[in-house]
């Protein structure tokens, strides 16, 4: 049987797929109604400043993914990848910290003439996710999610 730590980690695995598909409904369903989601930008070693206002609850996450995340251009997609998870489970509560690197991929419109992948892959964002979860009716859901970006981020429309 899968360990609780693995189940917690798989919440993040579903999170990155939903984000990369811009699937607000799937993304929002990972959060509780009272979840607090905040983005922070690094200002120096161990210091961050908040970016924008917190989102509260899965419905707000769903709305944000569908209205504020830039759609992938034609032929492009992306991967939010996570690694080096630290996970502590204490009964129906869990805390997870993970590194993330975001990659943008772009298919070439003209084949290059040489064998191999026809396009580019480029890392564009990095940081840490710091996340708390609660087990509700046997399902782990996110109650707090802090996105600690390594760099400033300009929000669309801001």
Q: Applying CB under 8 A, which residues contact its own copies?
A: 1-3, 5-6, 10, 12-14, 16-17, 21, 42, 45-46, 70, 72, 75, 77, 79, 81-87, 89, 99, 101-103, 105-108, 111-119, 121-126, 149-158
C-alpha span between 88 and 92 (Å, rounded): 11
Minimum CB separation of residue 30 from its own copies in Å reads 13
- The token pair that represents 148 in the structure block: 């600690």
- Least CB distance from residue 74 to its own copies, whole Å? 9
Judged by beta carbon, residue 57 or residue 81, the one nearer its own copies is 81
3-class secondary structure, 105: strand
Closer to its own copies by CB, 108 or 136: give it. 108
Output the smallest distance, CB 84 to its own copies, in A: 4
Q: Pick the closer one to its own copies by CB: 5 or 57.
A: 5
Which tokens is 97 given? 């910290």
For its own copies, the closer of residues 57 and 104 by Cβ is 104
Least distance (Å) between residue 111 CB and its own copies:
6
Q: Where are the alpha helices (DSSP H) in 29-74?
A: 58-68
DSSP-assigned beta bridge partners for residue 149: 41, 127
For the beta sheet containing 47-56, the strands, ordered from the edge strand earlier in sequence to the opposite edge, are: 47-56, 31-44, 139-149, 119-136, 93-107, 76-90
Q: d(Cα 4, Cα 94) in Å, to the nearest integer?
A: 9
């Amino acid at each position: 049987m899968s360990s609780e730590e693995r189940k917690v980690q798989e919440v993040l695995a579903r999170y990155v797929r939903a984000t990369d598909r811009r699937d607000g409904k799937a993304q929002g369903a990972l959060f509780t109604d009272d979840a607090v989601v905040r983005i922070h930008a690094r200002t120096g070693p161990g210091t961050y400043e908040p970016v924008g206002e917190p989102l509260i609850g899965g419905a707000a996450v769903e709305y944000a993914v569908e209205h504020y995340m830039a759609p992938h251009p034609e032929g492009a997609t992306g991967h939010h990848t996570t690694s080096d998870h630290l996970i502590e489970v204490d009964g129906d509560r869990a805390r997870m910290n993970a590194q993330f690197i975001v990659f943008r991929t772009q298919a070439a419109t003209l084949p290059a003439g040489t064998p191999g992948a026809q396009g580019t892959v480029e890392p564009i964002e990095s940081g840490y996710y710091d996340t708390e979860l609660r087990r509700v009716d046997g399902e782990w859901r996110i109650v707090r999610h802090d996105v600690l970006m390594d760099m400033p981020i300009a929000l669309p429309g801001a």
